[in-house]
Chains A and B, each alone.
Chain A
Amino acid sequence: MIQYTVTVCTVGAITAILVLGVNVSWGWVGQIDLAYYAYVAIGAYAAMVLELPRAHPSPTTPNSYILGLHWPFIPSVLVATAVGAAAALVVGTIALRRLRGDYIAIITACTALMLTAVTSVDNHLLGGYIGVYGLAEPLNTALHLGPTGYSYFYLGLCIFCLLLAYLVLERIYKSPFGRSLRAVRENDTAAAAFGRNLFWLRLRGYALGGAVGAFGGALFANYLLAWNPASWSLTEVTLLIAGVVVGGQANSRGVIIGSVLIESALPQISQLFPLLTSNSTIGPSIASILGAGGIIVMLRFRPGGILRERRAIDRTGGPESLVPHVPAVSFARPTTATGVAVGTSSEVERDA
């Protein structure tokens, strides 16, 4: 039971990192990115082929893969992250040229399917449909932990990485860069009229999302110790999107809550239904329907999500405080789950 909990938590932490990345392109930039899972896969594959030793194809297992550099864990993950960002830069350069959101969705979906086709068909690039496998537990050559100890260690590592990703992204969100991105999302014409280079800003936001996705993918591959084209599909991306929509677009804490809800609730439901119907195959279908239905219901009745996006507010008392040094820098904290707490403070100030 404990081992099961550790597994769920590890996958949950990795999923939370992935959803933070989706949130950059969906929540901050307001872009429909369906290639996100490709960056996750690129990160996973990159980490695998960097960490694995050289491939030795044989007549019985003819599939092989490129590189095989036998690098250590940490540089592999870092390089995999960079590769994800680079891939996103290339795709973004094509997709974002035409400044229409719906085009971007189609181009990114095409890109993802193209990459899936290439990786599954070509047996010598990334092992074809069999994929890459046989990775040794990262860092354990130095740590010498038992299976249980190691699973705790990797859970800790994933939680640390989640925290790191959260803090880094929060900092970027609050920075002038994050603000510029949101201006582009809210009204790109006005953002351009106020000196924002739309293409360049969107591209950088897009690459940032790709980097986070690849980072999460590298962690995921190092957890599974194998990766193949079936590991990741549009279904997974839909679940991540569901996490963003349910949790609250552009609110890091919200989307983490959303992804945890979606990822933990749906498998339980899908396990439950076969018991009820004695049909073992419809579980995943029911889960998908509920996930997608959840998106629609949330969009209809609570479009802001569980936690709404936070806005910068100023809590100083009145005009006299305009004398420099006084205004405190603060970001509104949604104090309740409804996220409407901010309105009241400004209400009071207006009366004052």
Chain B
Amino acid sequence: MHDGAPAPLLEVRGLRKHFGGVKAVDGCDFEVRAGEMVGLIGPNGAGKSTVVELLSGLLKPDAGTVLFDGRAIQGLPPHRIFAAGLSRCFQLAKPWPRLSVLENLLIAIPPEGKDTIWRALLTPPSRVRAAERAARDRALAIAEQYRLYPLRNDYAYTLSGGQRRLLEFARIALTRPKLALLDEPMAGVNPVLQVEIERGIRNLVEDGTTVLLIEHNLGFVERICDRVIVMVEGRVAATGSLAELRDNPIVQDAYLGVVGAA
């Protein structure tokens, strides 16, 4: 598809994770190139979400390698993977509930080692204020972009499901990652906010972020993804554009048929 493309940004080889007897991810191979917008689809229980957990470091793989930007990141703790430039949003949005939206955004700005006790005590007040002002301006600009500005002073727990989702995107946008893993961003969001979220994802891509999107809504996937990866029973069954894959018997059998019937 992308002949002569540079080395992939993300290269997953033989990724495996079993839970007891359940083979959630069972020898999964795929790659994502820089600048791509890739959809990861598959029936329920195909192991898509487990892949996200494994890539972001919340789960440790049993076997396999994950090369990200030329570095092996499999098994690293989440904060190191984040530092390498890989951010993720959660299937169930996880804001920091008893903090304001603004604080949620401020925390998303990568700390880069600046959040230490000594720095808090020894930095002169003028520099503290300047740094705080700069961070606030950045956070508020993103808040505006993601329609969160009017809500900036509200506690995050008061947000609706869709607003929480927007907050997730805003947080990811603030981290300026190389790759963003989006786990079902449309799940449980009303149609009005779905438009906003689609816009949010496009914003991310425009800012130069590569996106790996897990989604059930195939229309949405077809609209925004260059390419899709189909997972079935813990393995990659096929890759290609959604149009090509619609005719693929394996995919039809495992996934599209099910959706069509539903």
User: In the complex, which residue of chain B has the Cβ closest to the Cβ of A204?
Assistant: B117
Assess whether B136 is in contact with A329, with CB atoms less than 8 Å apart: yes
Contacts of B100 in A (CB 8 A): 311-313
Flag if A187 contacts B78 (CB, 8 Å).
no
Where chain B touches its partner, the secondary structure class is: helix
| Distance (whole angstroms) from the CB of A188 to the closest CB of chain B | 10
* Inter-chain contact A313/B94, CB cutoff 8 Å: no
Q: Does A70 interact with chain B (Cβ within 8 Å)?
A: no
Q: What does the 1/0 interface line of A299-334 toward B look like (CB < 8 Å)? A: 000000000010111101001001011010100100
How many CB-defined contacts (below 8 Å) exist between A and B? 141
How far is B141's CA from A312's CA once the two chains are assembled, in angstroms?
16
Task: Answer whether A192 and B119 are a contact pair too, CB < 8 Å, given A187-B95, A312-B106.
Answer: no
| Selected interface stretch from B9-17, B126-134, B204-212 | B126-134
Task: Please state if A324 and B107 are interface contacts (CB–CB under 8 Å).
Answer: no
Within 8 A of B (CB), among A188-243: 189-198, 201, 204, 208
Q: Which residue of A lies closest to B78 (CB)?
A: A192
Pick from A193, A208, A311: contact of B155, CB under 8 Å: A311
Tell me, in angstroms, the Cα distance from A178 to B132 when the chains sit together.
Answer: 13
B:112-164 near A, CB below 8 Å: 114-117, 119-121, 128-129, 132-133, 136-137, 140-141, 144, 149-155
Q: Take A195-B82, A329-B129, A329-B136 as given contacts and tell me if A176 and B153 are in contact as well, using a CB distance cutoff of 8 Å.
A: no
Q: Give A149 to B129 CA distance when docked, in angstroms.
A: 42
The size class of the interface chain B forms with chain A is 35 or more
Interchain CB contact (< 8 A) of B103 among A189, A311, A324, A343: A311
The answer on a CB contact under 8 Å between B144 and A186 is no
Contacting pair B120 A192 (CB below 8 A): no
Q: Is the CB of A329 within 8 A of B132?
A: yes
Cβ contacts B22-64/A at 8 Å (1 or 0 each): 0000000000000000000000000000000000111000000
Picked from A197, A208, A329, the residue with its CB within 8 Å of the CB of B117 is A208
Instruction: Give the chain B neighbours of A182 by CB distance below 8 A.
Output: 96, 99, 103
Q: Is the CB of A346 within 8 A of B154?
A: yes
A314 in contact with B96 (CB, 8 Å): no
Query: Is A175 on the interface with B (CB-CB < 8 A)?
Result: yes
- Chain A residues 151 to 199 lying within 8 A of chain B, measured CB to CB, are 168, 171-172, 175-180, 182-183, 186-187, 189-198
Tell me, yes or no, whether B175 is within 8 Å of chain A by CB.
Answer: yes
List chain A residues, Cβ under 8 A from B114. Answer: 176
Q: Please determine whether B144 and A329 come into contact, CB atoms closer than 8 angstroms.
A: no
Q: Is B171 an interface residue (CB 8 A)?
A: yes
Query: Which of B95, B106, B111, B133 counts the most chain A CB atoms within 10 A?
Result: B111
Would you give 6 A-B contacts (Cβ < 8 Å), ordered by A? A192-B77, A313-B152, A314-B140, A324-B137, A345-B153, A346-B151
Closest 4 CB pairs of A and B: A175-B120, A346-B153, A186-B96, A192-B78
**B residues in contact (CB < 8 Å) with A:** 56-58, 77-79, 82-83, 87-88, 90, 94-100, 102-103, 106-108, 110-111, 114-117, 119-121, 128-129, 132-133, 136-137, 140-141, 144, 149-155, 171, 175
